[in-house]
Amino acid sequence: MRKKVVLVAILVALGVAFYVFDLHQWLTLENLKAGHTQFEQWRQGSPILVGLLFTLFYILVTGLSLPGAAIMSLAAGAIFGLFWGTVIVSFASSIGATMAFLVARYLLQDWVHRRFGKRLAAVHAGIEREGAFYLFALRLVPVFPFFVINILMGLTRIKTWTFYWVSQVGMLAATIVYVNAGTQLGRVESLGDILSPQLLLSFALLGIFPLLAKFILNWLKRHRSAA
């Protein structure tokens, strides 16, 4: 119990520091555009150091479930280009998501199981059986909040490694879209310019596909067994 209290205190302190030191002011589209030249100068002067600091900051933001991941993905494209921006965001967002997932699991899973264990038995069985497919579908559709998926999955029994690699693969398409938009930063007026209704529909169809394929395979297996 004491360890959990200490962890909560650390998380709260980091979250408060994020706002006390006005770090959230950096994570706006306007400030990103205004500081683009300065960021580019820093990158040219110390590319490895700036890349590492950017990656660590991205992990911190996503791991603490703070707002700003979308802006940082744009910043990655603007500062590091499409290839390296995609590499950085893909790994940083997946690591940060896994941190949030583990924190939720450590702090909340026991309480949830004690209170709702019997009701969630079927859910846990389904996640153990089909968890990777569900998570992959959720990650492909950007309309589902990033941090909510991390926390909710932390309350299930999906394996940590499965959560990590499925998240990284599932988020890759949206990552490329955001990072690529960042390489054209001057043309982006709002985050709504990036994800059009047509693009969201495409992601939704991609998300449904693995679940549909799994359903068809299971139906075929049952049909053959019955025959």
- How many domains does the chain divide into? 1
Residue 158 has pLDDT above 90, yes or no: no
Question: pLDDT category, 148, cuts 50, 70, 90?
Answer: confident
Q: Which domain holds residue 116?
A: 2-226
Q: Which residues contact 99 (CB under 8 A, 6 or more apart)?
A: 59, 62, 63
- Take residue 110 and report the two structure tokens written for it: 């026991």
Give first-to-last CA distance, the chain, whole Å: 55
pLDDT of 201 higher than 60: no
pLDDT band at 7 (very low <50, low <70, confident <90, very high): confident
- Confidence band (pLDDT; 50, 70, 90) for 90? very high
Percent of the chain clearing pLDDT 90 (strictly above): 18
Mean pLDDT of all residues belonging to the chain: 77
| pLDDT beyond 60 at 18 | yes
Distance separating alpha carbons of residues 44 and 127, to the nearest angstrom? 46
pLDDT of residue 137: 75
- One DSSP character per residue, 152-185 reads HHHTS---HHHHHHHHHHHHHHHHHHHHHHHHTG
Cα distance between residue 171 and residue 187, in whole Å: 23
pLDDT band at 205 (very low <50, low <70, confident <90, very high): low
CB of 55 closer than 8 Å to CB of 75: no
- Position 95 confidence tier, pLDDT thresholds 50, 70, 90: very high
Residues in Cβ contact with 181 at an 8 Å cutoff, skipping those fewer than 6 apart: 74, 77, 188, 193, 194
DSSP 62-98: HHTT-S-HHHHHHHHHHHHHHHHHHHHHHHHHHHHHH
pTM: 0.76
Which stretch of DSSP H or E encloses residue 43? helix 36-45
> Alpha-carbon distance 214 to 209, whole Å?
9
Q: What is the pLDDT of residue 34?
A: 75
DSSP state of 191: G
Whether residue 88 has pLDDT greater than 90: yes
- Residue 107 banded pLDDT, cuts 50, 70, 90: confident
Q: Express each pLDDT in 37-76 by its tens digit.
A: 788 888 888 889 999 999 999 999 999 888 888 888 888 9
CA angle at 134 for the pair 129 and 139, rounded to the nearest 5°: 145
The residue type of 170 is G
Residue 183 pLDDT greater than 70, yes or no: yes
Q: Is the pLDDT of residue 209 over 80?
A: no
